[in-house]
Every structure is written in structure tokens, then in C-alpha cells.
Chains A and B, each alone.
Chain A
Amino acid sequence: MTPSLEQARRPAPDRSFDRSFDPLFDRPFDLPFDQPRTQAPPLGPAPRPALASSLEPHDGGLRAALDALDRRSSTTGGYAYLDEEAKREIRRGLLKAVAVPGHQTPFSGREMPMPYGWGTGGVQVTASLLVPDDALKVIDQGADDTVNAVSIRVFFARTARAKTTTRTSEATIIQTRHRIPETPLAPGQIMVYQVPLPEPLRRLEPRETETATLHALAEYGLMRLKLYEDVAKHGDIALSYDYPVLVGGRYLMSPSPIPSFDNPKLDRSPALHLFGAGREKRLYAVPPHTSVESLDFEDFPFKPQSWAQVCGLCGAADSYLDEAVLDDRGGRLFVCSDSDHCRRRRRTP
């Protein structure tokens, strides 16, 4: 859709208030694309873009999500490693993903300075959202101090001079690999998940054409077959992570390899959850206050994991526990997987 010559001659209309429009189409031909606008747009809560008002059937969850995304389109010139076009494209993809909860949207992923399988999807989503006043928390299996978490945090600290934090309650964007923090999320927070395999039916139906058709027709009998098989073979549903969920009663989604213990945290969560798969180049999202139900049978209901032990460090009985091997004589210790949660509990007895 190229602007006509006449449109190009006329002065561009003032669209600075409306950041959902792509400035690409407002530019006259003679300006190159990567030059900044003449007017720096104000930061802070933006006036409602025209897009959201037409999406009335969704509740305030979608509006909040669109606000959150919208406020972040103000950076310039390669902030957080990616160029503005790439970030714009990813944000557009995220808008579509938020508009259709649970549906996988393709995006043109860029080459990132880490290989596939190391979080490129999550990094691209975070990069496209990051603004200077964000506080970024990065966790890997619940801990802030593992190698991957540290690497990605340093990456954003360098390329975006982002403010980073390990406290869940202070973070505005939390990028996570395979866990949701124990601390309840607040409205306005964004969770970014690193997803290896976005398609929940992939192991049951290897053809992408078929899975796309099944999603379009909402035919999820194949997944229910898998659950039946599990009960027939093992006596109960044998999925402990990447437990398939039905989002908004319509789309089947893989919530990334989080443990099934964390699935209930997605249901009607006040935060926005964004999922990025770098290798498969797919985005999907769960807007705030959306129903997320784990698939099960009436007579074999969904049971998240539970432990007989409590955390050896802070004594929590309701958090996800990791088993740590202490010595080579069989000594074990169960500790909270969420290091921030454990530390906070230890500090405030």
C-alpha cells in the first residue's frame, strides 16, 4: 500500500498522538526510513489508539494489554539491539496475538547473537517492548543467577541500558524460561516466555498443514486422545510440564515448558503473557483476565504437582521445589525454585 504522489506532496497529517499507525506510511518519499521523527513523542500513558476502541467485546484486559504495547513504540535507532522496523513488526504481531488469544502468529524473526534454543524468541519480544523506564527481570528455571538469566540480563543492560532487577514486585517486564514466579503478578506487568515448540499438537501430528487446519476448525480430539492414552497406559495423565491449555475456550495452546504447577497462575491473571518462539518464528499471547483451562477428564481432573517436603531454606509449603544434591552420600535438599520468592521469605520471617 504505497501513498500516492499527491499524498506525498501534501504535508503529512499530525499523527504523533496515534502511535498505532505505522509512521512508515506517513512519511513523504524524500525522507529515509531510519530518521527520527521531528517531534519527540511524550512518554507516559498514551491516549487510546483508534484500534482498541473497535475491539469492544473483550474486557479491560485487552485494553490494558494494548496500552502496554502501545506505550512502548517510542524508541529510536536500534535501542535494545533490534532496528525499529524489526521491533515494529514484532509489536504488530503481538497486537494480533493479543487480539486472538492462544493463536500462533508468525513473525519474521531476526538473527540474534545467541543460537536457536537459547531464548531468541523471548529476547526478540523483550527487545521490541523495552523502553528506558522499564525494569527488566530475567529468570531461568525460577532463578536469577543461572548462566542464561545472567547472560540475557547483561545483554539488555548493555544494548538498552535497561534498569534490571531481581525483585518480581518491582519488575515491569519479566522474561522467563520455564517458570512463572511465585509472587502474584500485578496489572501492568508483562511476562515474556521463551518457547521451544509453540505447537501443542506437533508430537501427535507432524504436518504443519494438518495442525493449522485442526486449529482453524477447533478440532482438538487428537489431544484428548493423548490424554486418554496416558490414563490407559499409566493410570493418570502423565504430563508434568508443557501441559496443554484451552485459552478463552477456543484455542489450544502450549504454555511453554512451565511445570503444570504453574498452569493455574495463567488463569485470569491480571498480567499480560507473551510467548515467543524464535526457531519456529511464532508469537502468541494471553491477555489479562483470560480464561486458561488445563485439559483433563471429569473423572481424572487436572492436579498440579505437590511435594511432601517444604523448602529447606525458607520453609514454604506452597512453592515449586527443586531438588538439590548436596553431597555424594545421598544428601538432598528441597529448595524453592523461585530464588526471589525464597529470599524474600527468608528476609521477612
Chain B
Amino acid sequence: MKPLLAAHGLTKIFRSPSAEQSAEPTTGPLAGPPAGPLDRPSDWPATGPSAEQPAGLPAGQPACLEVALEVHAGEVLGLVGESGSGKSTLLNLLCGAVKADAGQSLYRDALGLEVDLQNVEEVDRRRLMRSELGFVRQNPRDGLNMNVSAGANVAERLLAGGERRYDRARAAAAAWLERVEIPVRRLDDSPETYSGGMLQRLQIAKNLVAGPRLVFLDEPTGGLDVSVQARLLDLLRNLVAGLRLAVVLTTHDLAVARLLSHRILVMKGGRTVESGLTDQVLDDPQAPYTQLLTSSTLSL
């Protein structure tokens, strides 16, 4: 079966003006701590084709280097890494919101046509983002319109997609609020009155109302309290199972990855360190960095 989303060689370098002077002092009072066993890039055996920065690219901070991945329908892919590993950048590269320096992100749309989200016209990309794709941002305020009511937020994609009846749009919005366990009487309230967890669930409802086939989740549980996080994770598990969604999910929490994703990609410094089945990568980590991650997590 062909993958829903296939990315090849995605690379993004953030150019820094002082790229030439980026060498940090290694001796003297300004030097940082001495390099430990996993601080040198050569210590992380990368599964990608190159361990060094490929030639021909401008100097700068590599955010993503030659990342390749595949997502099939009904599958959850988790991108796991610590801060600065490039997972959020990779998510933006996959949906085409940020232009890559190299590589393509091929999405197979509802008609079976392959679209390169990196190279497609902005009109078409926006249309796809409204109808077949979804992007749930880490901070729900970035993904919601705080000036209109919650119901309007959820109905927005339907209205933009051609819905001309108010009652149908409203009914769909109410149904989705119920599905994400927000009381329907809050349909007309402003999102300013919502708590953090409710905002995130509202954002999920807004993204799912148009029936997308692939959803990008950027740290969906970041910054939430544990009980709120638990409720959100349960919701996501049920939605993914019930709707047969394909999901690409970013998280720094291994427990979230284990709970939600079927396969994971471990990232460090923009490179893919290891990838495979979630339980296999987390129970039998091969790469040194993955072993570092799994040994660092606390468990009750």
C-alpha cells in the first residue's frame, strides 16, 4: 500500500549571520564543559545517509538534515527528541509551512494524486490544509481565532470550504464539541473563557471537523497539567482509533509517544538517530542517544 505521506531528504538550515565565527572557545574561562561521551556528532550513529553536513548547503544551524519518513493511513508516527532536535521544524517542513532547502514532502490526496507540499502553489496548499490536512499547534492560541466564539472557530473550515447553511455549520460545530468533551452550552462563548486543556481540545475539534486524512500535532500535551494531559491523551487515542486518522506527532515525552504512536523517529540535532516500532525502539534501543533518552525518563 502506498504511503499517505512520504518525505525524502528534507533539509533546512537556518542561516546565521555569524556562521563563520560560530566556533566556540574550547579553552579558557569562556569554554563550556568538556565534551562528554555523547556530545560529539560522530558518537551518534545516524541512520540517515550522511553523518556530516552535506556539501553544497549554506553554512548555518542545521535544523533538519536529510530526513526521510513515511506515514500510512491509520498510523501514528511519533517524532521524539529533546528541545532543539528539529522535530517542530520537521513538522512544519512536512506540511509545507516552511520552505525546505532541499527535499520533498509528497502527500497523496483524496483523489490519489501525489502532491509535493514543498512545491505546490500556496492556493492549493492552503486548500489542502483546510480540507484534508490538519495542524494542531503547541500553543492553542496560535491555532485559534480568539476574537470569535468557539462555535465559529470550529465551523470556520466548513464555512471556508463552501458550507452555505448556518444550521448545518452550527450542528457540526456542536457535534464536534461534544466529541471532544466540551459542554455544548459553551458553543457561543469566547475562547478567552476557556481553560488551557479546553483550548487544546477546541483546536483539535477545529482541525478535525472537515474530516482530514492526516493531522500534524505539535506537542499536543506540552504545558498542560497531568490530569488535563491524561484526558487529552485518552481523547487522542479514541479519535485516532475511531477515525482511522494518520497522525504525525511531536513530543519530548516518551510516555506520550509510547501511548499514542505506532512508530517513532528519534531525532537529535536535526538528524534521525533511530526509527522503528515504538515498543521496539523504546524497549530495545540500539543507538546510544536513544539509550540515553530511555534511561533518563522517570517512572512512578
Contact = CB atoms under 8 A, between A and B. Distances in A.
A229 B148 contact: yes
A224 B165 contact: no
B149 A297 contact: no
A329 interface: no
Contacts of B155: 225, 228
A326 interface: no
Contact of B160 (A219, A226, A297): A219
Contacts of B147: 204
Interface string A206-235: 000000000001111100111011011100
A225 B164 contact: no
B160 A224 contact: yes
Given A231-B166, A298-B164, A299-B167, A225 B145 contact: yes
A229 B149 contact: yes
Given A217-B122, A217-B126, A232-B170, A225 B165 contact: no
Contacts of A219: 126, 160
Contacts of B157: 221
Contacts of B148: 225-226, 228-229
Contact of B164 (A217, A221, A229, A297): A297
A224 B151 contact: no
Interface in A228-247: 228-229, 231-233
Contacts of A298: 164-166
Main secondary structure of the interface of B (DSSP, over half): helix
Contacts of B122: 217
Nearest to A233: B188
A297 B126 contact: no
B156 A225 contact: yes
A300 B165 CA distance: 8
A298 B157 CA distance: 17
Contacts of A226: 148
A221 B166 contact: no
A259 to B, nearest CB: 23
Given A229-B152, A232-B170, A299-B166, A217 B160 contact: no
B160 A232 contact: no
Interface residues of A, number: 18
Given A228-B166, A228-B169, A300-B166, A221 B152 contact: no
Given A217-B123, A233-B188, A225 B166 contact: no
B159 interface: yes
Interface string A250-276: 000000000000000000000000000
B199 to A, nearest CB: 18
A231 B122 CA distance: 32
Interface in B28-75: none
B160 A221 contact: yes
Contacts of B145: 225
Nearest to A297: B166
A221 B156 contact: yes
Interface in A288-310: 297-300
Interface string B114-157: 00000000110010000000000000000001011101100111
Given A221-B156, A224-B160, A297-B165, A232 B123 contact: no
B226 to A, nearest CB: 34
Interface string B233-262: 000000000000000000000000000000
Contacts of A224: 159-160
A177 to B, nearest CB: 30
Interface of A: 204, 217-221, 224-226, 228-229, 231-233, 297-300
Interface of B: 122-123, 126, 145, 147-149, 151-152, 155-157, 159-160, 164-167, 169-170, 187-188
In the A-B complex, the 4 residue pairs with the closest CB atoms: A221-B160, A224-B159, A297-B166, A298-B164
8 contacts: A204-B147, A217-B122, A217-B123, A225-B156, A297-B166, A298-B164, A298-B165, A299-B167
